[in-house]
């Protein structure tokens, strides 16, 4: 399974399919209108169901395990967290030609996070850190151990060693591959030795909702699980910088080894996205170069 294994589902999902699935399996909601959401994801297609519900449908087999996982564990996690997370109200089954389980959830008000929507970015970074720490404190016994369902977030970044080194070779001469390789080697050397804890797996601006300028909700636990929390620190470079990064770092704590692995996770993702877009999307390539440069600088300072 790869993160881009999407070809077998996305194109066939539309509002008509959602209406048919809901009518067949949850007739109590069949009269509600179905409309696409304004901001949709890649792993799943999401539709509004009336004013208070959403329908979430995986776009490919690789993303389908998240439905069962979230339906089981979101109610367990929610009471322990400082902000709202999605409430999975019903789990649908394959039908109407659609091959995967799907879910109905409560609608969460808010806008996806961006600097323009946030009153105080350092305070926001501290709120994200508080969420990470609260998640880590939740009892992890019996939780879904990191693996294929989390795209190996929460496991060792060594799972992506071959891909990372291949990408470094591809980008030789276009990024500082010597310094980047040093960051990657340091991440692999800093093995996780603590007890497994809960992690979100994809803490990014698109999965953080803002209301009245503050963090209001965290969504999309599809890559969540129990294991190494280093992947939840990547937001330090992808969203935060300067004072807000230091606020996040100070509030979230974590060991130097965990930060070393986090730099590896951030570098891996930025490298593969840069390789995909370097000659096609100048804006996206520039953003990935920024992340890579800041990760390399952070690594140099940490030595």
Question: Does 10-108 match 113-302 in CATH topology?
Answer: no
Estimate the share of the chain in helix, then strand, then coil, as percent rounded to the nearest 5. 50, 15, 35
Would you kindly state where each structural domain of the chain is located, as residue ranges?
A: 10-108, 113-302
Instruction: Assign domain 10-108 one CATH number from 3.30.200.20, 3.90.180.10, 3.40.50.2300, 3.20.20.70.
Output: 3.30.200.20
pLDDT at 132: 98
pLDDT at 273: 97
| pTM, entire model | 0.92
* Spatial distance between the Cα atoms of 199 and 32, rounded to a whole number of angstroms: 35
CATH classification of 113-302 is 1.10.260.40, yes or no?
Answer: no
Q: Are 195 and 228 in contact (CB under 8 A)?
A: no
Mean per-residue pLDDT, 138-153: 96
- SS3 category, 37: coil
Residues 6 or more apart whose Cβ sits within 8 Å of residue 74: 85, 86, 87, 88, 221
pLDDT at 2: 37
pLDDT at 10: 54
Each residue's pLDDT tens digit, 198-239: 999 999 999 999 999 999 999 999 999 999 999 999 999 999
**Scanning the structure block, which residue is given the tokens 């019903």?**
90
pLDDT at 6: 35
Mean per-residue pLDDT, 13-39: 94
DSSP character for 194?
A: S
Mean per-residue pLDDT, 169-194: 96
């Amino acid at each position: 399974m790869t993160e881009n294994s999407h070809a077998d589902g996305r194109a066939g999902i539309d509002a008509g399919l959602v209406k048919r699935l809901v009518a067949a399996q949850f007739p109590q909601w069949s009269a509600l209108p179905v409309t696409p959401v304004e901001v949709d994801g890649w792993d799943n297609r999401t539709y509004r169901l009336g004013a208070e519900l959403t329908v979430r449908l995986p776009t490919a087999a690789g993303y389908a395990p998240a439905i069962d996982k979230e339906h089981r564990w979101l109610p367990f996690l929610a009471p322990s967290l400082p902000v709202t997370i999605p409430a999975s109200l019903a789990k649908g089954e394959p039908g109407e030609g659609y091959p995967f389980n799907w879910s109905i959830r409560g609608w969460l008000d808010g806008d996806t996070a961006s600097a323009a929507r946030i009153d105080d970015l350092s305070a926001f970074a501290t709120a994200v850190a508080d969420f990470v720490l609260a998640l880590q404190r939740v009892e992890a016994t019996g939780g879904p151990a990191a693996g294929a369902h989390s795209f190996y977030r929460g496991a060792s970044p060594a799972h992506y060693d071959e891909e990372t080194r291949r990408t470094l070779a591809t980008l030789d001469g276009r990024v500082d591959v010597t310094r980047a390789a040093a960051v990657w080697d340091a991440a692999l050397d800093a093995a996780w030795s603590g007890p497994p804890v809960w992690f979100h797996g994809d803490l990014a601006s698109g999965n953080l909702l803002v209301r009245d300028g503050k963090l209001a909700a965290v969504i999309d636990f599809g890559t969540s699980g129990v294991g190494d929390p280093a992947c939840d620190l990547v937001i330090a470079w992808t969203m935060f910088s300067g004072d807000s990064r230091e606020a996040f770092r100070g509030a979230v704590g974590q060991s130097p080894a965990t930060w070393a692995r986090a730099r590896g996770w951030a570098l891996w993702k930025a490298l593969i996205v840069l390789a995909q877009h370097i000659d096609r999307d100048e804006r996206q390539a520039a953003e990935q170069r920024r992340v890579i440069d800041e990760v390399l600088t952070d690594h140099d300072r940490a030595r």
